[in-house]
Structure 1
């Protein structure tokens, strides 16, 4: 027992438990912590790739590129809040009204005749009233959310501008009296950035691509309230697998209201095509094959993470699970090192 408690694995496990407890105690600041990490990681990737791409033509400093990108992002956020927030609010309200007024006419066809009793039992009005109440509560806290986003943007900007100094200062703890603790924290941070950050980046890119392609297809089909639908598709696109299924429900209802059952078929074809693009093109390009979880594990992780972490759990549940798998050695996003090639004496000569 003494060997077990003194083992390296047990100490690493206890440190991980300590980190989890510390985050739980700071749960009131979890929004700022997660937003700061996500914004910092994504903006660092964008600034690095932009700098490498532009240096072929114009020599630019990475700090200047970072400041420019943050100014563009801040300007876009202000423009959206000032110009499009009233439009988005109006479209979301109209979208709720459209779904609430949905009914299946049994006289349309045989399929609708069977669907009518089912939709009467679902009682969409009650569910939508709960959804509207949740939306109104979020709108009343819009000032708090905007302040948290603003603080996260400022913190992430300072982190990226002083990235080298932060790394150099943090490295001093390696030779301090808490060197063993530093080594373990360095290991966890390296694995966390490599696994959690990679999956978050992939989720955002996939959600953005799905949002743009979906809005284009919905526009060609004559769907109303495209801005509200685009926001819904992007947010739900951050939830792996389950987000696509959840987004099918409101889109199918709107499709039936516009063009009947044939439009529902169009929606199913659109979602199938987008899922194929995600599964066979985006996922292999953006994520390692080892992070490709079975659908059963994906749903179980999403259900439990939503229960314990709320809305954030839907987005960060899978990345956290991948991080734990990486720590436990179940999967690893590191590229395996190539074995040295043995040469004969004749080849060496």
Structure 2
């Protein structure tokens, strides 16, 4: 009995018990996991960037947060007003490019016709129209729910960033409660995971944005149609480490082949190679400095396993989760930076 009590009182044992408690809470709240993760990501990005601006320009923290969210809202409405119509027009032009692709390569058109006759797609649609209608309505509901989750997470992150100092003081009260060691471990584990998740997502966003801008410029020079649609696709898939590049290569190659032929595809591959060499030898060394970066095989295995366990979220947060556990067991612990700049945030003005 004495050995068991000594085992429970060990610091590492209490730490892992706190981790199990956190995981249990997340399992209970799994239906709200998307809102939780989005709120964490938005809050991290807003607090860390507001802190950098406030520290560099000596501005009040609250003013910077308000200005930051105001800029985001203005950019969002400008995108809806000017960019969205162009995206819709370019997206509606994609079927014409696909049709031109089939006309240019009749052999592929023949294979498509054979598949159409073999599977009798029209009869399948007629026979299963109720299922297809329900599936389409389910897709619309899913998109609507996703938009609501993003808006709710953005609002929660705004409130959290604005009241960050008060929230920190409230959280520190648990360290003087009847269970200070438990909450200390929860505080440390939660802070470490949020720092890793936020820093990895922030770097991935920067890399995806730079790559998307360079790719849009390159696609425009190569006269690839629907460049803005392709740019949005590249940016979204760019949030998936390594695998996103391979996935985006398929639609890009098909559209380029339809518009510019085999030589256009070759030019596209040269463009992608140049941009990703620039990413590998310049962006990653500068932006990923002091961050945990996994080997390529481990990254692919992580994406496959995490996608199976967590769905689409696993493709985005799978690498940060593995980095967190590597840090927990003491592997690559020194490679993780302190991206939240907590010490500087504390020096900012309080709400």
Q: TM-score band (shorter)? A: 0.7 to 0.9
Whole-Å Cα distance in 2 between the matches of residues 294 and 192 of structure 1? Answer: 20
Residues 1:12 and 1:212: Cα distance change in structure 2 (over 3 Å): same
Do 1:99 and 1:250's aligned partners in 2 also have CA atoms closer than 8 Å? no
- 1:151-170 aligned at under 5 Å gives the runs 151-170=152-171
- 1:96-115 aligned at under 5 Å gives the runs 98-99=97-98, 102-103=101-102
Aligned to 1:45: 48
Whole-Å Cα distance in 2 between the matches of residues 49 and 176 of structure 1? Answer: 33
Extract unaligned runs of 5+ from structure 2.
Answer: 120-124, 126-133, 339-351
Aligned to 1:95: 94
Do 1:290 and 1:331's aligned partners in 2 also have CA atoms closer than 8 Å? no
Deviation at 1:4, TM superposition (A): 4.8
1:26 equivalent to 2:29? Answer yes
1:13 equivalent to 2:16? Answer yes
Deviation at 1:209, TM superposition (A): 0.7
Do 2:291 and 2:337's aligned partners in 1 also have CA atoms closer than 8 Å? no
- 1:299-310 aligned at under 5 Å gives the runs 299-310=300-311
Residues 1:66 and 1:13: Cα distance change in structure 2 (over 3 Å): same
Using CA pairs under 8 Å that are at least 6 residues apart, name the structure with larger relative contact order, 1 or 2: 2
Whole-Å Cα distance in 2 between the matches of residues 219 and 21 of structure 1? Answer: 49
Do 1:198 and 1:287's aligned partners in 2 also have CA atoms closer than 8 Å? no
After the TM superposition, which of the residue ranges 28-37 and 136-145 deviates more from structure 2?
136-145
- 1:77-96 aligned at under 5 Å gives the runs 77-95=76-94
Aligned to 1:276: 277
Do 1:192 and 1:323's aligned partners in 2 also have CA atoms closer than 8 Å? yes
Deviation at 1:217, TM superposition (A): 0.7
Deviation at 1:90, TM superposition (A): 4.6
Whole-Å Cα distance in 2 between the matches of residues 86 and 78 of structure 1? Answer: 12
Whole-Å Cα distance in 1 between the matches of residues 298 and 268 of structure 2? Answer: 27
Do 1:325 and 1:331's aligned partners in 2 also have CA atoms closer than 8 Å? yes
1:205 equivalent to 2:232? Answer no
Aligned to 1:298: 299
Whole-Å Cα distance in 1 between the matches of residues 35 and 60 of structure 2? Answer: 28
Q: How many residues align?
A: 321
TM-score by length of 2: 0.80
> Secondary structure, in 3 states, of the residue corresponding to 2:149?
helix
Aligned to 2:61: 62
Whole-Å Cα distance in 2 between the matches of residues 136 and 245 of structure 1? Answer: 30
After the TM superposition, which of the residue ranges 235-244 and 273-282 deviates more from structure 2?
273-282
Aligned to 1:178: 179
Aligned to 1:340: none
Q: Cα deviations across residues 269-313 of structure 1 (Å, max 9, x unaligned)?
A: 111112112211121222246622111101000011111111111
Residues 1:327 and 1:86: Cα distance change in structure 2 (over 3 Å): same
TM-score by length of 1: 0.81
Deviation at 1:145, TM superposition (A): 2.4
Deviation at 1:189, TM superposition (A): 1.9
Do 1:211 and 1:230's aligned partners in 2 also have CA atoms closer than 8 Å? yes
After the TM superposition, which of the residue ranges 94-103 and 141-150 deviates more from structure 2?
94-103
Deviation at 1:199, TM superposition (A): 0.9
Aligned to 1:347: none
Deviation at 1:210, TM superposition (A): 0.7
1:222 equivalent to 2:216? Answer no
Aligned to 2:344: none
CA RMSD of aligned residues (A): 3.3
Whole-Å Cα distance in 1 between the matches of residues 135 and 287 of structure 2? Answer: 34
Extract unaligned runs of 5+ from structure 1.
Answer: 108-112, 337-349
Residues 1:22 and 1:98: Cα distance change in structure 2 (over 3 Å): farther
After the TM superposition, which of the residue ranges 211-220 and 148-157 deviates more from structure 2?
148-157
Whole-Å Cα distance in 2 between the matches of residues 285 and 293 of structure 1? Answer: 16
